[in-house]
Amino acid sequence: MTTHDITLVSGHGGMPAPEGVLTLKHLIDGAWVSSTSGETFERSSPATGQLVSQAAKGTAQDVEAAVRAARAAFDDGRWSETPGSARAKALSRMAELIDANCERLALYETMESGKPISQAEAEIQGAADIWRYAATLAWNIRGDSQNALGPDMLGMVLKEPIGVVSIITPWNFPFLIASQKLPFALAAGCTAVVKPSELTSATTVMMGELLIEAGIPPGVVNIVLGYGDPVGGLMTTHPDVDMVSFTGSTAVGKAIVAATSKTLKKVSLELGGKNPQVIFPDADLDQAADAIVFGVYFNAGECCNSGSRIIVHEDVADALNEKVVALSRKVPFGDPLNRTTKVGAIISTDHQSKIDNYVKGAAEDGAEVLLGGAPVSVEGLAGQFYQPTVVAGVTANMAIATEEVFGPVLSVLTFSTFDEAVALANGAAYGLSAGVWSENVHTCLAFARKAQAGTVWTNTWMDGFPELPFGGVKESGLGRELGPNGIDEFLEVKTVQMRIGKTRQTWV
C-alpha cells in the first residue's frame, strides 16, 4: 500500500518543543539527590529524536536509602497517624496543582512517550480528578463492630494502612497510572517508593515536585529513577517493603509474584490485555466502528485496555470492515505536538519491530491486511511511526489473536453463534476488559455475565471514572485500582476482641 491511503500529519506547524535538556534526580527523604554512583541515563523523543531528559541512574544504595526513608516516615506516624481530613486536604491541594501545571506536564509526557499532546493533556486532567476522588476516601476509612457476641464481648474490625508500598509504573501512561495508585496509598496512610519507567521519568519527577508543594511530609513519597535491575528488583524484594503495586507486562508481573513469595508481601498487579469487542448483527455499526477505531488507535494502541480484538458476526463482518477501514484512513497520525494528531510515535524501535512482526506473522498465516501493515516515515520527524492497521480473516490459533501486540493494529475474527462469540472472547489468557455491541439489552447482559473480564463495556468502549474499580482477571492481574476498592488495596484488616468487665473465668 502507499501512504496516500492514510492521513499523515507532518512535523511542521505543531506547538514548539521545549528547549534544553531536563535534569531529573531522585527524591529521597524530601531532598533531590543524584545517584550514589554518579551515573545518569538519557531519554530522547521517539517522535523527533531530540534529547529530552537526563536522569539519575538508580543503584541498590539509592533504593536502600529511599526504603529507609519511607519506613521511618511510616513508623514515626508523621503521615500514617495524620487525621484523614488532613490527608484529604493535601490530596485535594495536589489535584489543584496538577490542574495548574497541566500544560507543562502534558508537554513532557508527549516528548518522552510520543503520544499526541491533546491526549496527554486529557490524561493529566483525568489524573487530577483521581486525586480529588482519593481525597474523599481519606475522610471515610471505617471499620465495623460486632455487638452480638454475648453480653461480655465486643468485637471491632479496624482498617489500618499496610505500611511501605513500592509503586512501579510503565511508560505508556506514566502520570495517570501513578495517579491510579499513589493517591489511594496516601489516602490510606501509607508511605511509598515510586519507580517510573526509564523511558518516561519526567512527569513522575514533576509529580514529586508538586507533592512537596502540596505539603506531603519528607520521606512519605520517595522516587528512585532507573532500570528494573537493580531498582525495580530490590523494590519488590526488600524486607522493609510491605506491598508492591505494579503495572506492566504479564511476564514481569509473574516474576514479581515469584520474587515476593520469599517474604509473602502483598502484591497488586495490573497487567496485559487482549481485549475483545463482540459485535452482534443488530448492533449500530456506525457507532461500533467509531468506537473500534478509537479503541485500537488511542495512545497508538500502546494501552492495556486497547480494543485490539474484534469478534464480529459473519453476517455483518464485511460491512463493519468497510466502515472501520474508511474511518481508519481518516485518523490523523504523525507529529505528536500537532493538536490534530490522534496517533503519535511508537515508544521505541524495538517495540515497533515487535508490532510489525505480529502483522507479518498474521499475513503469513493467511490473514488479510486490509489497511496499513508497515512502519512509515513522517516528514520533518526522525522518530518511528506505524501505520493504522486492520487485519481481517484472523483465526483463534494465530498469535495476533491471543497475544498483546500493543500497537495500532486491529485483529478481526468472525462468529456465527452467541456461544462461539463467548468462547472466542474468553479464549485468550488475559481478562482485563471486554465489550459487547447489540441493541438487545438481554444479549448485552448475557454476554456481560459470561465474559471473563474485570470490566465489560456495552455499546461503548473505554469510558472511565474514578468511582469505578479497574483491574483484571486471569493473567491480567491481581487486585483493583480506583473506586472504593482502590483504597482497600492499601489497608489491612485487624480484628479487636474486647471482654467487658471481669467476666472471664479462670481456666484452671
Active site amino acids: 270, 304
Cβ proximity of 306 and 406 under 8 Å: yes
Strand bridging mode 243-247 / 221-223: unpaired
Q: Which of 48-71 are b and which e, b meaning 16 or more Cβ less than 10 Å from the residue's Cβ? A: beeebbebbbbbeebbbbbbbbbb
C-alpha cell at 489: 488495596
Distance in angstroms (rounded) separating the CA atoms of residues 377 and 400: 24
Strand bridging mode 164-168 / 191-195: parallel
Torsion 80-81-86-88 (CA) sign: positive
In degrees rounded to 5, what are phi and psi of residue 223? Answer: -125, 125
Give me the amino acid identity at 498. M
Distance in angstroms (rounded) separating the CA atoms of residues 443 and 448: 9
Distance in angstroms (rounded) separating the CA atoms of residues 88 and 216: 11
C-alpha cell at 53: 531528559
The CA radius of gyration of the chain, in Å to the nearest whole number, is 24
Assign 348 to helix, strand or coil.
coil
Distance in angstroms (rounded) separating the CA atoms of residues 204 and 183: 13
Question: Euclidean distance between the first and final Cα of the chain, in Å?
Answer: 90
Distance in angstroms (rounded) separating the CA atoms of residues 404 and 303: 10
Q: Mark out the alpha helices in 60-181 (DSSP H runs).
A: 60-75, 84-100, 102-113, 117-138, 174-179
Instruction: Report how far apart, in Å, the C-alpha atoms of 32 and of each of 35, 169, 186, 206 are.
Output: 10, 20, 20, 12
Q: Which of 213-249 are b and which e, b meaning 16 or more Cβ less than 10 Å from the residue's Cβ? A: ebebbbbbbbbbbbebeebbbbbbbbebbbbbbbbbe
DSSP string, 424-463: HHT-SSEESEEEEE-S-HHHHHHHHHH--SSEEEESS---
